[in-house]
Amino acid sequence: MQQTNMKEGEMGDQESFPMTGGDGEYSYTKNSSPQKRAADRAKPMLAEAIGENLDIVPGSPTKSISIADLGCSVGNNTFIAVKNIIEAIQEKYQKQGHTSSPLEFQVFFSDHASNDFNLLFLSLPTDRQYFVCGVPGSFYTRLFPKASLNVIHCSSALHWLSKVPPELGDLKSPCCNREKIFYANAPKEIGEAYAAQYERDMETFLGARAQELAPGGLMVLLISGRISGTLPGKSSLGPQFEPLESSLVDMANEGIISKDKLALFNLPMYSPSPEEIEKIIERNGNYIAKKIEKMPDRTFGLFKKQECRAGFEALIKAHFGSEILDELFDRYEAKVTGRPPPGVAEGIGMGIFILLKRKQ
């Protein structure tokens, strides 16, 4: 077996900010309902995708199906996703009349090494019908041996870039994002810098996965997107981050944090349009794009204080220090309390369901 020579620690300039671990008030395990809602809505599409597209070759009794969930974080969402995938495969297998030798499943839970894998393993469902492996590392590197996976799943994670676009790290650059923490409604060149970073990252992601997926294997990606034909600045994530942004701006204006420090703080996240992602997939050339579909519209509430903190405190702490956390998230809470959810017309939280099949 050829080993990868790309290790996470060697990818020097990648950033890793896991969701808050443990099971405390601000932990991801207790504050991941928005991501669960996204996965619940995709469940019928996932079952259909596997039913119609996975080629199961009932081989020798030792043949097992390998599934990887990338950016798994801690439970429960990853366990639910894996259960849904396995149920869909079993249903298909039974419909094909294979009842004598039950399938065996090997599941790889993968996330940054700094993810709380201890909690993940301690909370594994006791009734699971699969073997478990933890795989630490960035999904912007090779993680698995060649052609070793049958299904790759990645939900609510691929909007994380490997890093903030480098152009934004210069206070004198026209790309310096003063009084903003994201590219939504920012000058065009900032959106373009983010789009270019996303393109580089997705090329790396698709290239690595193309090596790891077995021929005919499936990749299901559930990502945040934006409406086709709009500029990056129309990001569907923009309204979600606005209260956090304005809390930080208030704190900078009051001298609690430095304005230069704020200017250099940006969220490493991006939401592409379906047409944008389609072009990147086409250019890669290793996949048949079976589905790239906007999920049905829905009302999308702003993150509650606990949900926002579970997702972003590691990132904020690394840049501003832990001393601002309580005050920042109290201000955030004051801003979102009683605010009506942004309208669907604003394109907030638009989801894209992507199903790719590795070419034979």
Residue 111 sits in the site that holds ligand SAM (CB under 6 A): yes
Q: Which is nearer to ligand SAM, 37 or 291 (CB)?
A: 37
212 backbone φψ class: left, alpha, beta (φ>0; ψ -120 to 50) = alpha
User: Helices 238-253 & 325-336, crossing angle to 10 degrees?
Assistant: 120
Whether residue 20 contacts residue 314, with contact meaning beta carbons closer than 8 Å, is answered with: yes
Q: Which is nearer to ligand SAM, 156 or 236 (CB)?
A: 156
Among 78, 84, 211, 306, binds ligand SAM (CB under 6 A): 78
Rounded least distance, CB 230 to ligand SAM, Å: 23
Count CA within 13 A, CB hemisphere, residue 5: 0
Main-chain dihedrals φ then ψ at residue 184, nearest 5 degrees? -60, 130
Using the CB atoms, write b or e for 12-22: b if 16+ within 10 Å: eebebbbbbbe
Residue 306 sits in the site that holds ligand SAM (CB under 6 A): no
Among 27, 49, 53, 71, binds ligand SAM (CB under 6 A): 71
Residue 313 sits in the site that holds ligand SAM (CB under 6 A): no
SS3 5: coil
Identity of residue 171:
L
Residues near ligand SAM (CB under 6 A), total? 22
Would you state the structure tokens that stand for residue 117, as one six-digit string? 């894998």
Residue 80 burial by Cβ neighbours in a 10 Å radius (0-12, 13-18, 19+): middle
Binding mask 184-213 for ligand SAM (x = CB under 6 A): ------------------------------
Rounded least distance, CB 178 to ligand SAM, Å: 26
Rounded least distance, CB 99 to ligand SAM, Å: 33
Rounded least distance, CB 101 to ligand SAM, Å: 31
Q: Which is nearer to ligand SAM, 86 or 263 (CB)?
A: 86
Q: Which is nearer to ligand SAM, 92 or 309 (CB)?
A: 309
Q: Which stretch binds ligand SAM (CB under 6 A): 88-96, 107-115, 269-277, 285-293?
A: 107-115
Whether residue 242 contacts residue 235, with contact meaning beta carbons closer than 8 Å, is answered with: no
Binding mask 130-169 for ligand SAM (x = CB under 6 A): --------xxx--------------xxx--x-x-------
Q: Which residue has the tokens 């894209």?
A: 352
Would you state the structure tokens that stand for residue 85, as one six-digit string? 């995938």
Whether residue 142 contacts residue 211, with contact meaning beta carbons closer than 8 Å, is answered with: yes
Residue 92 sits in the site that holds ligand SAM (CB under 6 A): no
SS3 169: helix
> How many whole angstroms separate alpha carbon 17 and alpha carbon 112?
8
Among 21, 27, 31, 39, binds ligand SAM (CB under 6 A): 39
Residues that bind ligand SAM (CB under 6 A): 18-19, 32, 35, 39, 71-73, 77-78, 111-112, 115, 138-140, 155-157, 160, 162, 311
